[in-house]
Structure 1
Amino acid sequence: MKIICYLNSTMPEEISHVKEKLFENIFNYAKGGIAIVSPKGKWLKVNASIVDLLGYSKNEIYSMTFQDITHRDDLESDMEYFNQILSGEIDSYQIQKRFFHKNGAIVWGHINVSVFKDEVGEPRYFISQITDITAQKEAALHHNLLMDIIQDKNKTLNDFAHIATHDIRTHVGNLDSITGFIEEDCKPIVAHESFLMWKESVKNLQETLSHLDDIRTVQSSQKKDLKALPLHDYINHAIYNVAGIARKQDVVISNNVDTSLKVRAIAAYLDSIILNFLSNAIKYKSQDRLPKIEISSRYEDSYAIIDIKDNGIGIDLDKHGHQLFTLNATFSDHEDSRGIGLFITKNHIESIGGKIEVESELGKGTCFSVYLKNAE
């Protein structure tokens, strides 16, 4: 059996024509900018994306060199690579550089340049692919600016914390001295419950100031700064700190946390976390029933979980869940609502390697589950 192939003599010409047409379409309609540039930097051919990127018409571009519209701070490095291609040291290069748009604005481009050589190896022209990265660059510059502002604000806050703790410590020292005078001069009230709560509160305030000093110097993200803390004791400490408010509001608080449980945390942060949840649970109690707060513990993988459950007014999570822990977000008309507490608390929890979840039903109550690293 013979197979005879008849070759059409026009086929190579047709293929060549298709290739040329294909290249022309790719060149003209490519999303990114493509340009052909002479060894002297003159624009020989550009596509529509280059026109859109730079704002000049094609005729205007063809009357210029790329050097004419390159930012002077980027021109030296660009020319250094360009000359290396001319000398044969390299065949291509990639850089990020700035162009001047026709309206004077700065346009950032990611440039990929390669060379096309003639039969004797001399550069005939350059092919440049240009991707617009202006938006990314502006976003990065904006981010860096914000970081500079944040660092400046952090320094200001650190200075303020130093001054505030120093001044408040003086006042607390005075309160402690006055407490001692009362103990000496007013013996009958020394055993009174209210005086004992006052005395303990002054002591706790002194401890809080000591913790604030720690916060100024401790980088909470570093594991070496985390300590194994007895969770049950810290909860009892927080309950005592709100005992006066809880008694006035007829709130019953139960600490059912495992007495042997220890979590890895920073003392000041753990105090603040528990205290904020207790304060919120009291603040948003229901008027329709006896307010109760139950604190329990459980374990999951490497986490010790604190469940802080109340029977208060609850939160409409469908409506407010997406902004629950955002700054300045409030979900009730309570006069003390500021939208700061949960934002700060969430940051404290995450900074010591934890996380937080919430379940709530409007009119029935809320349960915050705080995941902290188990010290065991």
Structure 2
Amino acid sequence: MPNDYVPNLETAINFFKEGKSRDKIQKAVANAIENGTPYDVEVELITAKGKSRWARAIGQAEMVNGQCVRLYGVFHDINNIKVSQNALNKANEELRAIFDAGPISIIGTDMNGIITHFNQGAETLLQYSATEMIGKKTPEIIHLREEVEQHGKILSDLFGITISGFDVFVEHARRDSFESMEWTYVRKDGSQFPVQLITTAIKDENGKINGFLGVATDISETVYNRKKIIETKENLEALTQKLKNQNRQLADFAHITSHNLRSPVGNLQTLSRFYKEAKSEQERSELFEKFEIVIDHLSSTLNTMVEVIQTTDDSTKATQELSFEETLNKTQEIISSQISQSGAIIKSDFSNAATVIYNDIYLDSIFLNLISNAIKYKSQDRVPEIYVESKIEDGKTILSISDNGLGINMERHGHKLFGLNKVFHSHPEAKGVGLYMTKIQIEAMGGSISASSEVGVGTTFTVIF
């Protein structure tokens, strides 16, 4: 206002900011006039130019015969002080809001690790009250001992000194740094959850450390999502491997088509032409016999293809609890003539794993292929002996079938042992289909098969279900 401005009570009141400040000064003045009560209040003014200004208003009433005859006092400009104070209060409120944030645990300690601050978020996440923790416990109570010991060894190797206990959490902070890592927090009821913990040092105005602060956030959802991503990645890798296997099988089918089907079909076409050109019934009869031979060969090849396709069909994978002993007995009945002619001795031990949850058709096929092969490729120098055993290792059922037959040169043939149409002995019945079929049946059920062999000694096939 200009220097010649003379205020009165009514106009002066209008300079006080409408609301709390104006109500406060009006009440103080009224009380002074009526009762002679002095006042000392902090109020906000709005100047004639519209600017906010904080002032300390001190008033005193002069009373004569119980009546107020005048008011006198002073105004003190406290704007800078009040603005700073309000800013500090706001900062404190914001800091308090952070400290009491629900999903965030904030724990302060002294230099020895005794808890000095335990915010509301820590109470919510950990189920302890601040009174249970402050001045009584260290953060070690909410950590897994094995994690603390493991990280202590890492830090000890890193800094070349022995670091254990509470120092594991603050060693980086002591070295004017900070550490952010995943830990497992343990609630009061013993339940556990993962957190991301950042530990820093608390310093005074001189830069001296006088405590530590640990800020942790619950990352259960993050860890869960990360686990799902890893599982998805593993499933994709498994699917990729399955597709690779299917591509390999398709290549094998192409091999059958190009070599095993093309030749008999071509022969049939040639024989058909010869048959039409034949001059006599005898010539036609001889050609017809050749027809039958080629057709039998073609039928055998088609049956092989059907078996391979069926093996890769998920609809055939129904499982049930099967007895190894009963499956072996069934196999011996099927190939009884081969066993009798060869004089093979078959021994077994299923005491460590009597049964397996599996597809019955596949299990019959595995026993039949592996045991008939052991007889088929027997040594001429000795009576064939076959030993069948089952056991449990690492929670998985394992079947091994060993023989004392011809054996296989694994260094030379091991990489193609289970390939389609791969034969390693000059046996007239060797077609290279049995082991291939066995392998894809086992892999179709999520298992694996391997072999160890020595020429002239024998072979062992190991099936992991």
> TM-score under structure 2 normalisation?
0.34
